[in-house]
Amino acid sequence: MSLDIQISLSDSDLERFVSGMKQAESKAEALDDKAIIASARELLGKTKSDELPDFIATRLGHLKTLIGMVEDVGFALPDEDKANVLSALTYFARPDDAVPDDIPVLGFLDDAIMIELCARDLKHEIEAYDEFTRWRVAEAKRRSEDLDTLHLTRHDWAEAQRAEVIERMHRKRQESYVSGNWSPTLFRIH
């Protein structure tokens, strides 16, 4: 039997999380990118042995995506976007969580809520990265190459999308000729 529980955060609740994020950012100013990422990875490491509720486990998957997005050389996240993601990850660099992580079941609840808030703010970046990684996996499979040794970049991805659009344009043009719906009147198309 499953049970749906809805958590509604009031404006003051959200302000507490925003305040917590700002505190984390100020405390993390002295940390470099690697230290911030290491702290987020440490949180993921703490959760591996725990039996976590799906709500928390799903959000931790978003955290893994955020880390991947920053570290993925092929994706080459632009500096401004990278700064936003690193800013989101600073919350996990602070040892003084609202709910201490060692409390069974609920210890990662505040982390999951913060991840959810960050994932909402970074929704478009996450969608683009997910699309890129799906393409990269499919491309490696199509080429019958090992994903770890195949170096594909955002530029390769953009070129593949451009080629796909051009191919679709040509296919639609050809289909319109075949169906007899249209033929060029002003010029000859090859």
Structure tokens at 164: 């796909």
Please tell me whether residue 119 adopts helix, strand or coil conformation.
helix
In eight-state DSSP terms, residue 90 is: G
User: Could you read off the pLDDT of 5-27 as tens digits, one per residue?
Assistant: 777 888 898 888 888 888 888 87
Residue 65: per-residue pLDDT: 94
Instruction: Quote the CA–CA distance of 95 and 98 in Å, as a whole number.
Output: 10
On the question of pLDDT at 136 being above 70, the answer is: yes
DSSP string, 25-64: HHHTTT--HHHHHHHHHHHHHHHTTS---HHHHHHHHHHH
Please tell me whether residue 81 adopts helix, strand or coil conformation.
helix
Average pLDDT, the chain: 84
The radius of gyration computed from the CA coordinates of the chain, to the nearest angstrom, equals 23
User: Could you read off the pLDDT of 23-50 as tens digits, one per residue?
Assistant: 888 877 788 999 999 988 988 887 776 6
Mean pLDDT value of segment 41-70? 84
Q: What is the greatest pairwise CA distance in the chain?
A: 74
User: Could you read off the pLDDT of 88-123 as tens digits, one per residue?
Assistant: 898 877 666 666 666 666 677 888 888 889 999 999
